[in-house]
Structures are given as structure tokens and as C-alpha cells.
Amino acid sequence: MSTKLQDHIDAPIQKSIVGLALLGFTPVFSCCGFKYKGQDETPDVPKKFHFAVPPKPYIFLFIFEMQPNLKALLVDIAFAARWKMAFVGAGPSAFIDLYFEGGFDSRHPWGQEGCIHRNEPEVLALKGLEETIQNYSKYFKDTAIVRDGNAIYKTDKGIKHWQYDPSPDWVVTKETFNSL
């Protein structure tokens, strides 16, 4: 089984994860919300999507380490990209759910499972988030570390029975962002 963290992050959302990390955020978990071309290229990495109708791409960000300027920046990014935010939990384990909601309703013909157009709103929303993050690239750090959210719980918090073993950290750079 692949131990590279980037193999466990859905390809359509990787660029946004890297950009947010380079801006100083702490991404924890993410999902693009749909099946995508190329997801089976690493067959040893199981891909299970949290299917919602319509699909809901999301990125969980820890907030306990977030500086006040990052909170304002996140509001700007969410507003400009037309993504939503929700606070989940409380205390040092709280995080922000940055998510897109606005795809086709299941009653719409294009919202039916198997329709070629079903995930187009989510694909466009992910592209919009990438472009919005790109607009803030002058604030990127030279390097950042993307940690596996499983490491935060299993290793850092010492939750012995956490169900997933973490992948090693992924060191990312501005070049990583530009190559995705």
C-alpha cells in the first residue's frame, strides 16, 4: 500500500490543499466528493467517497493554530470562491469545514448518478477555489508541511485505537502548487 500522503489526497483537490498549506493553514481531511479519472492509478489506496446529493467537496482546517490574519483571509477566500464555512467541534479539536454546496439536485436530470454532467458544478467549484487561492500566492511561504489528519489524532493526540495509520508528512513548495 502506498504510504505517500499525496496518493491519499484526491487529485482534484490537491492543489487547493497545497495552496492553503503554503498560506499557513492546517488542512486535516478533505474529499473532492466524486469519482474522478485517474483515481484507480494507485489501486492500493482505497478511495471511498462521502456521497451526498449533490456531491460536497470539503476541506477540514484546524483552527486552534490559526492566526487572526488567517481567519480573515479564509473568509475572503471562501467568499470569493463562493464556498461556505461551518465550525465543527469546540476547544483544541475544533475545525472549520470549508465546503462547496450548490451542485445539481437529485431531481434534476443532470443530478442523477451516472450522468456525465453530474459533477460539473463541483469540478468548477474546485477550479474556482484553486484560482482564488492562486490570487493570494504572493503570501505563500517557500515551503509548508501537509500532515495526514490521521497523524494528528493517532500520533499527536495519542488516540491508540484511531482506525487509520498515518502517512508521512508531505513537504510542499510553491513549485508543488504550480505543478499540480
The model's pTM is 0.89
Task: Give 60's Cβ-side CA count (13 Å radius).
Answer: 18
Provide mean pLDDT across the span 53-62: 84
- The string of pLDDT tens digits covering residues 144-169 is 999 999 998 888 888 889 888 899 99
Which range is most confident: 3-12, 41-50, 133-142, 144-153?
133-142
What angle in degrees, to the nearest 10, is found between the helix axes of 120-134 and 68-81? Answer: 140
The three cell numbers of residue 109 are 436530470
> 53: pLDDT confidence band, cut at 50, 70 and 90?
low
Show me where the domains of the chain are located.
Answer: 5-179
Nearest to 81 by CA among 32, 120, 131: 131
Residue 50 confidence (pLDDT) above 60: no
- The string of pLDDT tens digits covering residues 81-101 is 999 999 888 777 788 999 998
Give me the amino acid identity at 33. G
- The string of pLDDT tens digits covering residues 95-131 is 899 999 887 777 777 777 778 888 888 999 999 999 9
Q: Which of 1-15, 37-51, 116-130, 154-168 has the lowest mean pLDDT?
A: 37-51
Give, in order, the Cα–Cα distances in Å from 164 to each of 43, 110, 140, 171.
17, 35, 30, 21
The three cell numbers of residue 164 are 487509520
**Can you spell out the DSSP letters for 105-125?**
-TTSGGGSTT-TTTTHHHHHH
